[in-house]
Chains A and B, each alone.
Chain A
Amino acid sequence: MDRWPINPWILLCLLSISVTIVATTARAEDDSDFFERKIRPVLVERCYSCHSIEAGKSKGGLRVDTKESLRKGGDSGPGVVERDVEKSLVVAALRYDSFEMPPDGKLSESIIADFEHWIQSGAFDPRLESELGTHEEFTSDIDYEAGKDFWAFRPIEVRNVPKAIDHWGSGRIDRWIANQLKESNLTASGPATREVLLRRLSFDLVGLPPTPEQSETYLADAAEDAYELLVDQLLNEPGFGERWARPWLDLARFGEDQAHIVGDDRSLCYPNAYLYRDWLIRSLNEDISYDEFVRLQIAADLIEPDNDKHLPALGFMGLGPKYYRRNAPEVMAEEWEDRVDVLSRGLLGLTIACARCHDHKFDPIGTEDYYALAGVFASTEMYNRPVKPDTELGKNGHAKNPTDSLHIVRESTPLDLNVMIRGDAQRKGPIVPRRFVKVLSASTVPSFDQGSGRLQLAVALTNPSNPTFARVFVNRVWQQLFGRGLVATTSNFGKLGEPPSHPELLDDLSSRFIENGWSLKWLVREIVLSETYRQSSATREDCVAVDPLNTKLWRMNRKRLPIESWRDGILLVGNRLDRSIGGKSIDPSLPEGSRRTVYSEVSRLGLNRMLAVFDFPDPNAHSDGRIKTVNPLQKLFVMNSPFTRSMSEALGQRIESVASHPKDRILATYQLLFARQPTEEEVSDSLEFLRGDKPSWNEWAQVLVATNEFATLD
């Protein structure tokens, strides 16, 4: 059991202890004896259950299981001050003067007197932080420097752009794309029609179909820069933030409650989670730089301690799942895994959580990397921050009622974790100092020494020298616009992920993204102005034969609208969309919930049935993109749900109001839904359906919103 630790760092610590022991006097031996007989047993039996690493608890920010932590004390001040009984809060608590500890009954006067004596005589305490736990054998043989040779861990590199080909796209994106097309004997597709581009651009940028006014203006504008003008208009619409917040919410496993709710106890839920969503939408619309956007979500409280404006950003971690029986060590270990997972897959494209139980099997990520990050979250606590100064307070400064609070995180007692051997909270390996991931850092990795280390983590993570941070985000934006990332596995840039189809382009774009102030709007604009993006999505058989998955991008990928755009589109064409921005959540499956789908309530306990059926991700964990399924339950919703019935009526009414002649109505509806004119055949099919004395425009409207065409972006 008590094996000698192998880790040289710990050996060094032990060595210094033995030196101390040699130098001790007889007096010190008495002190030691007194501590072991009178003090340690009381601490272990009466205090450790709430104040030790062993228990995974540091109530009131206090741990009493090492000399350091007891002297440092908790939220209220130092626990022990050598030779000063009155300043040592431990004694005050034992006397029941300030706190009443232990809470289940005051200890005897003789025990309290022992503590006073102990402190008077210098508070001898042999329990060093580095000795915590019994260290099981633990080795790691990852060669981090060699690991840095893998493409994802190499620095972002800007190479010479190939020459433009055949007068097609002269921009840098197009030249990289054209280069590979040429190598594969493929050719790019011509541009999509203006109608198609208008619809594509509108859904891609703001998540909505173009309004009739937008269509009219754009389709009539013959100027050369009409498209560019449209792009800039859309980028400035508030709908931009609403559309781009949603993929971020998927990434951040945004949820407003917990997967476990015991009885009716909603105390662990997040009734004000929407404040985080509102912050995202506002920040995306303001186009704050991506590195700052992320830093604020990790450490807004430490970046601007006196400014409340960005505190909701901390919902990124503060709205994370809380598990049943939290505070038990093995349960907290699960929660830390969630935090590490969201951070590492979401922002770094690395599956660091794989290294919780053993070194990563494929990537140069050690178990120590995992616990170095987990330590930051072990040193951070979930915090229900009162929203107003007069909010009723509960324990430790939390708002008493979750409905009165902002759900964020705050600093807790800094804590370096032991490696848990094979992920078992009971089997402790060496302590790992908190620090950033080795393979993403320079050869020496400084430990985090300021508080929890959250701010240092945020800074290290967003440093331009971190090779994956910019790449991962640029790739996600590319995935949103093309339906597939340049790296198809958007959250796994490791060995088991897909290699990039266009590594030079990914680096080129990432580097320019950084140069252009980490601006999302710049990035989106740069991509959608490319010829590559503007290609037609039509299939060409000769190209299918060579590149069936279109990894070379010889055409635009056809995309299915996500549930958000589909539902919002139906609301918009039915003239029922409530465009107010921000605020509390709605039930999107009800006809009266007429706000955009991004405002849907997201439950970890029971996800809204409509959302679940339409491939909305499980909000209990990070999602790297929507899995696309096709199933009859979706179609039952389209055919029969109160929502589609009600919206078909709304659209039917609108159709009847726009014109009196059936054919004119049909033309207007096609323009509204598909941004194009119908063919003669299509008009006659519809007229055939609508024949008779009482043509049902509602039923016809329902057919149109149910079409593949409405749900598809060419």
Chain B
Amino acid sequence: MSDSLPIDLGTTSRRQWLRRAGGGFGSLALAGILQQQSMADRGVLSVPHFPAKAKRVVFLFMNGGPSHVDTFDPKPALAKHEGEQPDKIKSKGTGYMPSPFQFAPHGASGVIMSELFPNLSRCADDLCVIRSMHTDTPNHEPGLLLMNSGHQQPVRPSLGSWASYGLGSENDNLPSFITLCPGLPVVGPQLWSSAFLPGQHQGVAVDANEQDVEKLIANLKHPTLGRAEQRRQLDLLQKMNRRHIEERAGDQDLEAHIEAMEKAFRMQTEAGEAFDLSLEPQSVHDRYGKSVFARNCILARRLLERNVRFVQVHYITKTGKQPWDTHSNNDGGHRKLCADSDQATAALIEELKERGLLEDTLVLWGGEFGRTPYAQNDDKKKDAKPGRDHHNTGFSMFLAGGGVRGGMMYGQTDELGMHAVENRVHVHDLHATILHLMGVDHTRLTYRYSGRDFRLTDVYGEVVEDIIRT
């Protein structure tokens, strides 16, 4: 039984058919229609609006919201004002709380981060830390939706699905948008929904708790039929489909289904390999660490190597839908969370760099918002250590690779880390910038739905030109 793949039958017969259809305006118009249809598979933009600096994106999402004043935004003044209550805010705790962590500049550029990032500090010259992020709400649900889809309510396509819709896939054998997610985060699948965009652009969610490749992607393998047996089935199937289409020449839809079946057959192998972490040497596993997040960062690298357009890794655990939501014991929590995140994130950035991929892969790190510079105390638990509450008016994220200027700190919050005050970057601005780096003008990537041309950034968003490498 032959394992060889048929050579692009779809295209051949499409061409044959067009030839048969003869000349004239009608067939030209039809050719235009067909082209549009195949473009929809590839992404609506046949050519990006600008040369793309980032061909792929990986968004490392710290669910729950990391504390900016404990990670990338040192605020020595917090010590001076320790215990004072913030102005005009009803805090649930003992007032301003300094970070116990030491901050230092790193690399030639002197990008500052706290001692919680001993590994990431080696990548300082590749990082662009935005310290002036702000978002519209201090609540998880709307905050998550805004960061992931540009709107506080559901029913909007996610960032990754916009990228897939605009640019399509560079790998025919894998989905263009994959979400690695050990369990469900708060809000859940709406975070990778394609909403009103065509369904092929929704994120393929992979339950990354699973280690077994076949459980990672639904229906990837037949439990009993081997490859040769399935090929034999497929050969009969495609023979029947070919015969069926002979009498229905030119039916593009039927052709597409024949192609998709072959793609699925190839995907069983390709995805099987892509998701099989046992193919990585122990040294790689050691480099990333032992956490589920670490494993997902390795998976992310394998997918990016295979040109998956958009990969999102959610930092959640089987039991914690938002581990970074440190309402109590903020310091201890961040110590542990950052340890995982630091090692795996640094390993990912370094590996991408070693493999020549960082150049055109955009890495994003951050959560839906930051945490309060003042304390939150749980009165019910006498011994509980103080935490920090949700904070949306100023927080930090970082970007690396993909055309972003490395070794840069951009924007500032005020003396106490309360509000972004200089070079403020709203979530819409971040989205506009991400699309820009991918070669897409955020004002021109639209989808007509419900009588309106929708876009990721709604009517907002300015590209942050200052952080883009020229």
A residues with CB within 8 A of B: 259-262, 321, 323-325, 334, 341, 345, 351, 353-354, 362-363, 491-492, 494, 496-497, 537-539, 541, 544-549, 558, 560, 604-607, 609, 612-613, 615, 618, 620-622, 627-641, 645, 681-682, 685-686, 689, 699-700, 702-704, 706-709, 711-712, 714
Contact = CB atoms under 8 A, between A and B. Distances in A.
B371 to A, nearest CB: 20
A308 B65 CA distance: 49
B316 to A, nearest CB: 14
A547 B198 CA distance: 26
A714 B248 CA distance: 9
A632 B230 contact: no
Contact of A259 (B175, B187, B257, B260): B187
B264 A639 contact: yes
Contacts of A323: 153-154
Contacts, number: 195
Nearest to A689: B236
B241 interface: yes
B244 A709 contact: yes
A541 B450 contact: no
Instruction: Identify the interface centre among A622, A630, A681, A685: most chain B CB within 10 Å of its CB.
Output: A630
Given A605-B189, A606-B184, A635-B261, A703 B153 contact: no
B261 A544 contact: no
Given A548-B33, A604-B154, A636-B268, A708 B260 contact: no
Contact of B233 (A324, A645, A703, A711): A703
Contacts of A638: 261, 264
A496 B451 contact: yes
A544 B21 contact: yes
A706 B262 CA distance: 13
17 contacts: A261-B188, A323-B153, A351-B451, A362-B451, A537-B248, A541-B22, A546-B26, A605-B190, A618-B193, A618-B194, A621-B155, A632-B263, A637-B219, A638-B264, A704-B240, A708-B245, A712-B244
A630 B199 CA distance: 9
Given A541-B22, A636-B218, 15 more contacts: A324-B141, A363-B451, A544-B26, A545-B26, A558-B248, A605-B188, A605-B190, A606-B188, A606-B189, A620-B190, A635-B261, A639-B264, A639-B265, A681-B243, A709-B240
Contacts of B22: 541, 545
A634 B260 contact: yes
Contact of B236 (A334, A354, A538, A703): A703
Given A341-B450, A630-B257, A640-B219, A635 B196 contact: no
B222 interface: yes
B-side interface size class: 35 or more
Given A259-B187, A606-B184, A618-B155, A703 B251 contact: no
Contacts of A560: 253
A545 B31 CA distance: 11
B3 interface: no
Contacts of B184: 606
B237 A703 contact: yes
Contacts of B193: 618
A689 B263 contact: no
A618 B261 contact: no
Interface of B: 20-22, 24-27, 29-30, 33, 41, 139, 141-142, 153-155, 173, 175, 184, 186-190, 193-196, 198-200, 202, 204, 217-223, 225, 229-230, 232-233, 236-237, 239-241, 243-245, 247-251, 253-254, 256-261, 263-265, 267-268, 448, 450-452
Contacts of B202: 612
The 8 A-B pairs with the shortest beta carbon distances in the complex, nearest first, are A351-B451, A545-B26, A635-B264, A632-B264, A259-B154, A548-B30, A630-B256, A640-B219
Contacts of B245: 708
Contact of B154 (A260, A641, A700): A260
B239 A685 contact: yes
A639 B230 contact: yes
A618 B196 contact: yes
Nearest to B184: A606
A711 B29 CA distance: 28
Q: Among the interface residues A363, A547, A622, A707, which one has the most CB atoms of the partner chain B within 10 A? A: A707
A260 B27 CA distance: 49
A261 B263 CA distance: 36
A550 B239 CA distance: 28
Given A630-B260, A632-B267, A708-B258, A351 B450 contact: yes
A334 to B, nearest CB: 5
A706 B233 CA distance: 10
Contacts of A547: 26
Nearest to B40: A629
B451 A620 contact: no
B200 A545 contact: no
Given A613-B199, A699-B229, A628 B450 contact: no
Contact of B199 (A539, A612, A620, A706): A612
B30 A544 contact: yes
A609 B179 CA distance: 14
Nearest to A706: B237
Contacts of B239: 685
Contacts of B26: 544-548
Contacts of B190: 259, 605, 620
A547 B27 CA distance: 10
Contact of A645 (B222, B249, B268): B222
Q: Which of B26, B259, B265 is the most central at the interface, judged by chain A CB atoms within 10 Å of its CB?
A: B26
A331 B58 CA distance: 32
Contacts of B220: 636, 640
B187 A635 contact: no
A261 B142 CA distance: 12
A347 B13 CA distance: 42
Nearest to B30: A548
A613 B175 CA distance: 12
